[in-house]
Each structure stands twice: as structure tokens, then as C-alpha cells.
């Protein structure tokens, strides 16, 4: 079953966000879970998804699933309840000091993706030749297996 999810900051990360500029959230991701998933399965799938997509989240660990705070990881979620649901996860382990946090170097450039992000979040991007605005490739219909035009 597919499940849409989005990362949220941990409380520690939230206190540091002002140091790093405007908070942006990446677009929702879809993860597949076993037929009768545990909360721990959801946390592991979400962490793996974000670790594989974003360089700065290579050590990301999900601590909380919103709506399931205080629930044990061994708790069964129930396929009917969680299947197709949209959830938000909060965690820690984002490397906000990484040299890859902002990959633009000294160049001045603008990120304004259709998904709403205005920050280089580590996902694959492409720039418009006309306006020079950067967007996520997948948000403009270019799959990862496809080369950029």
C-alpha cells in the first residue's frame, strides 16, 4: 500500500531553523509498507526514503509520526487505517552544516519550484533557460532515469 509522507523538523532542529533561513518542506513522498504494517515499519520506510533522496538527510531518523505520538513502534497500524493516508514525520539527523546544504556556491540563483519549495533541498533540479529559475526535475515531469534536456 502506498503512503504519502513529509518530513517535519525535530524540536531541536526547529530551534535552529532561523539560522538557516526560510523553512521549506520537500514535496510528499510515497512509501510502500507491508500488508499489516507496524509503526516501526512506517518509521523505517520514511527514514530510508528521505536518506536516499536528500544528501543532507543521509543520517535522518524518524522519531515521531504525527498523530501517533507516544505509540510503541511494535503497534500494528492496520492496512485499512493507514493505506493511502498522508502522514507527517518528525526526526533528527539532518546535516544542516553540510557543504551540500546550499550547492550554489557564490553564484546567485533562484529556486522556485511548482511544489512550493524556494530552497535547494538536495533533490535533483533543472533550471529554465529563459528565466533561470530552478525546479525539481520530478515536479516538472522528468523522472530520475531520464537525462535532463
Exposed (0-12), middle (13-18) or buried (19+): which is 70, by Cβ within 10 Å?
A: exposed
Please give the Cα distance from 26 to 47 (Å, whole number). Answer: 14
**Residue appearing with cell numbers 515536479:** 139
User: What's this model's pTM, rounded to 2 decimal places?
Assistant: 0.57
Tell me how far apart the 2 most distant CA atoms of the chain are, in Å. Answer: 52
Three-state DSSP at 131 gives coil
Q: Which residues contact 105 (CB under 8 A, 6 or more apart)?
A: none
**Backbone conformation region of residue 19, classed left if phi is above 0, alpha if psi is from -120 to 50, else beta:** alpha
Q: What is the pLDDT of residue 123?
A: 83
The answer, yes or no, to whether residue 105 has pLDDT greater than 60, is: no
Buried-state track 110-127, b at ≥16 Cβ within 10 A, e below 16: ebebebebebbbbbebbe
φ, ψ of residue 55 to 5 degrees: the values are -60, -45
Over residues 75-99, the pLDDT tens digits come to 999 877 787 888 889 999 887 776 6
Over residues 22-74, the pLDDT tens digits come to 555 666 788 888 888 999 999 999 999 888 877 778 899 999 999 999 999 99
Residue 19 pLDDT level (bands cut at 50, 70, 90):
very low
Residue 13 pLDDT level (bands cut at 50, 70, 90):
very low
Q: In sequence order, which ranges of the chain are alpha helices (DSSP H)?
A: 11-16, 39-53, 79-82
Spell out where 10-141 has E strands. 29-32, 61-65, 86-92, 110-111, 125-127, 133-136
Q: What is the pLDDT of residue 84?
A: 81
Amino acid at each position: 500500500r502506498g503512503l504519502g509522507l513529509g518530513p517535519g523538523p525535530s524540536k531541536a532542529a526547529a530551534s535552529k531553523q532561523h539560522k538557516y533561513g526560510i523553512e521549506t518542506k520537500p514535496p510528499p513522498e510515497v512509501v510502500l509498507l507491508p500488508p499489516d504494517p507496524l509503526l516501526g515499519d512506517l518509521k523505517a520506510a520514511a527514514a530510508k526514503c528521505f536518506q536516499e533522496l536528500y544528501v543532507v538527510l543521509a543520517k535522518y531518523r524518524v522519531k515521531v509520526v504525527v498523530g501517533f505520538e507516544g505509540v510503541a513502534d511494535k503497534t500494528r497500524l492496520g492496512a485499512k487505517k493507514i493505506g493511502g493516508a498522508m502522514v507527517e514525520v518528525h526526526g533528527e539527523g539532518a546535516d544542516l552544516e553540510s557543504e551540500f546544504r546550499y550547492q550554489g556556491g557564490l553564484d546567485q540563483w533562484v529556486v522556485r519550484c511548482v511544489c512550493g519549495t524556494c530552497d535547494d533541498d538536495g533533490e535533483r533540479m533543472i533550471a529554465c533557460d529563459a528565466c533561470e529559475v530552478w525546479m525539481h526535475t520530478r515536479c516538472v515531469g522528468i523522472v530520475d532515469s531520464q537525462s535532463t534536456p
